[in-house]
């Protein structure tokens, strides 16, 4: 593999195995998190498989990714199955598998996705970009944790709700706003937009000022950007916002929005996250 590729392109590279609907990838050390690859890069690999599939109709509209187990080091197989193709929408069932100690494939990720051919219609935003400090006025921060390699793959400038420095248990709201983009900058596409939708540290760490064990169980991304809006966003910083809704008995959910620097809504996202204690 050429080393002058962007780390993101190396991470999501897939090859067709010859088995129908099956692609092989390699878990990326560049995007390693605590016990497996960053969840966003797993979502991006699934988007990549769909877009690489010869029968793919249109562009990504929605994807839901369920993290059933940590993806381990080495290769994995994606099964991307277009189970229903309509006139302008297509429905996908996806799994990621890795072999267990006995060599039997085990499901580590499940997903569904919808792709669609989009047409210009009446359009409006009911959630305009909040007025925040311009990206250039906000300090770029070093990676929040050195142990999580994926953090070095993003440029982050926090406007609101950075991770509390002290784990003092003081309760606050769970709103984070940051300017963010790939590091180094890379033109936005559907796969990298899926990846960055998972960029937020766990809301429980902010809400409680306490870094309890936590991990995403399921994430959904709705793509509002088409190719034109992605091209217009280019490699500029995005404003990313996330807010927790309910923290209840071991799981919390968040809603998230991502706008281009010019204020175009590119994607909305939600996830439900496991937390301990």
Binding site for its own copies (CB under 8 A): 61-62, 64, 66, 68-69, 83-84, 86, 89, 91-93, 95, 106-108, 110-112, 114, 116, 118-127, 171, 173-174, 203, 207-208, 217-218, 220, 222, 224, 226, 243-251, 253, 255, 257, 265, 268, 270, 272, 274-277
Q: By the 8 A CB rule, do 248 and 193 touch?
A: no
Give dist(CA 188, CA 191) in Å, integer: 8
CB of 242 to its own copies, least distance (A): 11
Between 40 and 244, whose beta carbon lies closer to its own copies? 244
Between 155 and 253, whose beta carbon lies closer to its own copies? 253
- Residues 6 or more apart whose CB falls under 8 angstroms from that of 4 comprise none
CB of 5 to its own copies, least distance (A): 31
CB of 144 to its own copies, least distance (A): 21
Q: By the 8 A CB rule, do 57 and 90 touch?
A: yes
Give dist(CA 128, CA 44) in Å, integer: 26
Between 35 and 69, whose beta carbon lies closer to its own copies? 69
Between 37 and 161, whose beta carbon lies closer to its own copies? 161
CB of 221 to its own copies, least distance (A): 10
Between 3 and 120, whose beta carbon lies closer to its own copies? 120
CB of 267 to its own copies, least distance (A): 9
Give dist(CA 277, CA 151) in Å, integer: 25
Between 100 and 137, whose beta carbon lies closer to its own copies? 100
CB of 251 to its own copies, least distance (A): 6
**Structure-derived torsion over alpha carbons of residues 169, 273, 146, 160, reported in degrees to the nearest 10:** -60
Give dist(CA 139, CA 38) in Å, integer: 24
What are the structure tokens assigned to 190, written together? 């559907």
Nearest to 235 by CA among 120, 135, 118: 135
Residue 58, by phi and psi: left (phi above 0), alpha (psi -120 to 50) or beta? Answer: left
């Amino acid at each position: 593999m050429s080393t002058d590729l962007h780390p993101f392109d190396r991470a999501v590279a897939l090859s067709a195995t010859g088995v129908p609907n099956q692609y092989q990838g390699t878990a990326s050390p560049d995007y390693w998190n605590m016990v497996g690859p960053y969840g966003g890069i797993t979502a991006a690999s699934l988007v990549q498989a769909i877009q690489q599939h010869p029968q793919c109709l249109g562009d990504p509209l929605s994807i839901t990714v369920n993290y059933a187990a940590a993806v381990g080091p080495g290769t994995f197989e994606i099964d991307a199955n277009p189970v229903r193709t309509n006139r302008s929408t297509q429905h996908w069932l996806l799994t990621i598998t890795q072999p267990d100690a006995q060599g039997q494939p085990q499901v580590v990720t499940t997903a569904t996705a919808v792709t669609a051919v989009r047409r210009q219609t009446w359009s409006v935003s009911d959630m305009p970009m909040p007025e925040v400090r311009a990206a250039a006025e906000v300090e770029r921060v070093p990676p929040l944790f050195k142990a999580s390699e994926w953090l070095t793959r993003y440029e982050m400038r926090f406007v609101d709700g950075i991770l509390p420095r002290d784990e003092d248990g003081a309760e606050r709201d769970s709103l984070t706003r940051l300017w963010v983009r790939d590091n180094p900058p890379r033109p936005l596409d559907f796969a990298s937009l899926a990846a960055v939708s998972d960029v937020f540290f766990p809301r429980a760490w902010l809400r409680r000022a306490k870094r309890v064990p936590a991990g995403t169980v399921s994430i959904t991304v709705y793509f509002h950007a088409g190719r034109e809006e992605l091209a217009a966003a280019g490699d500029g910083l995005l404003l990313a916002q996330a807010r927790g809704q309910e923290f209840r008995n071991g799981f919390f959910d968040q809603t998230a929005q991502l706008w281009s620097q010019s204020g175009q809504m590119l994607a909305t996202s939600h996830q439900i996250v496991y937390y301990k204690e």
